[in-house]
Structure formats: C-alpha cells, structure tokens
Amino acid sequence: MKCILATAAILIAAIIPLSAAEEPTVETAKYWEIAGPADKVTWIEIHSFQKIDGIDVAHVEVMSRKKGSKPWEFEHLLPHLAITVDALKKSVIRPLKVHSVYPESYESDYNFWKKKFDEGNIVVCKTSISDALSAAK
C-alpha cells in the first residue's frame, strides 16, 4: 500500500505544472536564449536593472556562437544594450545555463552609455533585441 501511495504521489507531482514562482523570469535568470541564425546559439547575459523615468530598464550583453563550437569561441554582437524590461521579455525565448564571459567589453560599452546618459543623451531600446541588432549593423 505504501508503494502505491508513493507511486501516486510521484505521478501527481510529475503532471502538476510548475507554479509561476518556480518558473524563471527575466529578473531571476541571468542568461536567456534569443532568436538568431539557425546555425548559432544567440543569448544575452543580464548584468543589472535600473529605473529610468519610472521605466524598468535592463543592461544586457548580446552574444552568439556557432552550434558545436567551443564555449570560448563566441562573438559579442552588442557588448552593452539598455533595454526596457517589457521589450526584453518579448525578446527572450528560454533561460540558459551558461557561464559568464569576461566582462571587459560590456563594462567599456556600459561606461560609454553611462557617460551619454549623464549628459542627457539617453539611449534605451523600447522594441526588441532583434531591432537593436538590426540597427547596429
């Protein structure tokens, strides 16, 4: 009888969907896959969040690498992008388990953005990461 109850409990636990609190959000997961070429893995690393004029903004780094390549063989597509959290949520596909890369490129571009921000030249993406990548080309 105990075996049957234990099996039933396992089966019930397996079919109950994760609650919203257990599912990662852009605020709780640091790495996210985003849309990119079919032969590559394209992802973001979220570095920080801030409020600008009452709007939640994320500071992210956008990277890509060919599928099957070594983890250190990647390309910085956008070393820094300030993007609204709403636009970020529309851009991400699923959380990833990846390790951080060296942050020097991000820090350099973030510092440049911060200088422009302090001068009143605010640049924040309000559409999608795909739009920001297209505009950067």
In the structure encoding, which two tokens stand for residue 16, read together? Answer: 């109950």
Give the mean pLDDT of 51-63.
Answer: 96
DSSP 53-117: TTEEEEEEEEEEEETTS-TT--EEEEEEEEEEHHHHHHHEEEE---PPPP-HHHHHHHHHHHHHH
User: Which of the two residues, 16 and 94, has the higher pLDDT score?
Assistant: 94
How far apart are alpha carbons 66 and 91 in whole angstroms?
20
Q: Which domains, from first to last, does the chain contain?
A: 23-136 (3.90.70)
The pLDDT assigned to 13 comes to 37
The pLDDT tens digits of the residues spanning 79-136 come to: 999 999 999 999 999 999 876 777 788 999 999 999 999 999 989 999 999 999 999 8
pLDDT at 14 over 60: no
